Amino acid sequence: MSDRVAIVGVGMSKFGELWEKSLREITLEAGMYAIFDADVQGKEIDAISIGNMSAGRFTGQEHLGALAVDMGGLGNIPAYSVEAACASGGAAVRQAYMSIKSGEHDVMLVLGCEKMSDVSQSEAMDTISVASDMDWEGMFGATFPALYAFIARRHMMEYGTTDEQMGKVAVKNHYNAQFNPWAQFQRALPLKVVMNSGMLADPIRVLHSSPITDGAAGLVMCSEERAKEFTDNPVFVDASTQATASLALHDRKDICTMDSVVLSSRRALERANLSIEDIDVFELHDSFTISEIVLTEDVGLAKKGEGGKLVDEGITELKGEFPVNTSGGLKARGHPIGATGVAQIVELALQLRGDAEKRQVEGAEKAMAVNIGGTGATSIVHILGR
């Protein structure tokens, strides 16, 4: 059994609407960059884990494990394709973590991918809804943004969270994305523009929502013993945890709290023997800006109801005390669903290595990623350290 699991290589495809590229091309691109970054030979990789939500509906292709091995020219190694809606990427990372930790595999390539722009906007919207309870939410006209609007409206009523605070999260994440060469939107977004953007599902505005994105991300993970063969600057997984809550949002006693996030983040901190104040940089799943606000509360950065205030005080800004979504987050880096959870880890590994360039959080030693599926039915938390 391996003591610790290391991340020795990271890679990303460009994120955006990549008309000229197919699912297999972007997935290969991210994997190759991760392999080059790790300087690992193909023959040393003994398995792949790949996260994806809905390639079958977005592109017509399933069986992505075999596809990834084949496209990468990796011969006959096993490949595990995992799905947990928007948390599919995090699930792929966790799958590799468990495989290496158990001793079953030594060196793994982890991939996450989604190609969303091959279908119309309305088909994409339809497909995104599969992350919710289709029979009892989707069928009655509750779109995915509407479900987050349910949360936002309650949060506004119970805690006084404002349209402006939800807007400021978008502004912050766009600011950070300017310094991320892989981000879909590498430009600032004025608050006034966010606050004047149209309603998608009141009170959620168009510019509170993450976009439709094509993209893939990759990691090379291995046991601690093997890590020194590839790098003298490894990053370690200090904890990997996962928890579940009801599939339908209406079955939760308090829709403003994601119990899955509370449980998985608490457990991760316990395993890593850390408290939330020890974490230097965060990637929190901001599919809508209200979800970043809720997640800052549920991981314990703010008291319940005070996530909006946290944004007002600038605490989660790049130069703040607890920077959140230095990559630009789902909002501005982009949200290729199955790639997101892997892209979060790519960003945090770069931060811990000191390779995040203009968005570097100085001296970052501990980092946390929270990747959620649906409206928080799945939560996957990773804590990384040096």
- Contact segment (CB under 8 A) with another protein among 11-19, 79-87, 126-134, 326-334 equals 126-134
**Window 194 to 213, contacts with another protein (CB under 8 A):** 198-204
- Contact segment (CB under 8 A) with another protein among 84-92, 98-106, 125-133, 274-282 equals 125-133
Q: How far is the CB of 290 from another protein (least distance, A)?
A: 12
**Window 15 to 34, contacts with another protein (CB under 8 A):** none
Q: How far is the CB of 148 from another protein (least distance, A)?
A: 9
Q: DSSP labels for 53-65?
A: S-HHHHTS---HH
* 125 binds another protein, rule: CB under 8 A: yes
**Window 135 to 174, contacts with another protein (CB under 8 A):** 135-143, 145-146, 149-151, 153-154, 157
Q: How far is the CB of 137 from another protein (least distance, A)?
A: 5
**Sole binder of another protein in the list 13, 54, 129, 240 (CB under 8 A):** 129
* 355 binds another protein, rule: CB under 8 A: no
* 123 binds another protein, rule: CB under 8 A: yes
* 254 binds another protein, rule: CB under 8 A: no
Residues 55/64, Cβ–Cβ less than 8 Å = yes
C-beta of 138 vs 336, nearer to another protein: 138
Cβ neighbours for 31, distance < 8 A, ≥ 6 positions apart: 11, 68, 72, 109, 111, 216, 218
Answer yes or no: 222 catalytic. no
* 122 binds another protein, rule: CB under 8 A: yes
Residues 146/97, Cβ–Cβ less than 8 Å = no
Q: Pick the catalytic residue: 63, 86, 105, 113? A: 86
**Helix ranges (DSSP H) in 102-162:** 121-128, 144-159
Task: Name the nearest CA neighbour of 241 among 288, 274, 281.
Answer: 274
Q: How far is the CB of 257 from another protein (least distance, A)?
A: 14
C-beta of 156 vs 348, nearer to another protein: 156
Q: How far is the CB of 288 from another protein (least distance, A)?
A: 12
* 250 binds another protein, rule: CB under 8 A: yes
Q: DSSP labels for 253-318?
A: S-TT--HHHHHHHHHHHHHHT--GGG--EEEE--SBHHHHHHHHHHTTSS-TT-HHHHHHTTTTST
Question: What is the phi/psi pair of residue 379, to 5°?
Answer: -135, 130
Q: How far is the CB of 297 from another protein (least distance, A)?
A: 17
Tell me the C-alpha to C-alpha distance, in Å, between residue 189 and each of 18, 79, 167, 176. Answer: 22, 40, 10, 11
Q: Pick the catalytic residue: 105, 155, 174, 335? A: 335
Q: In what order do the strands lie in the sheet with 378-385?
A: 79-82, 47-51, 107-114, 215-223, 5-12, 235-244, 378-385, 366-373, 281-284
C-beta of 145 vs 218, nearer to another protein: 145
* 189 binds another protein, rule: CB under 8 A: no
* 376 binds another protein, rule: CB under 8 A: no
Q: Contacts from 73-77 at CB under 8 Å and sequence distance 24+?
A: 73/42, 74/42, 74/45, 74/48, 74/109, 77/45, 77/46, 77/47, 77/48
CA–CA distance, 54 with 84 (Å, rounded to integer): 10
Answer yes or no: 208 catalytic. no
Q: How far is the CB of 121 from another protein (least distance, A)?
A: 9
- Count of residues interacting with another protein (CB under 8 A): 36
C-beta of 196 vs 275, nearer to another protein: 196
C-beta of 24 vs 252, nearer to another protein: 252
**Window 271 to 300, contacts with another protein (CB under 8 A):** none
Q: DSSP labels for 165-188?
A: HHHHHHHHHHHHHTT-TT-S--S-
Q: Considering just the CA atoms, what is the radius of gyration of the chain in Å? A: 19
Active site members? 86, 335
Q: Which residues bind another protein (CB under 8 A)?
A: 122-123, 125-126, 129-130, 134-143, 145-146, 149-151, 153-154, 157, 198-204, 248-251, 255
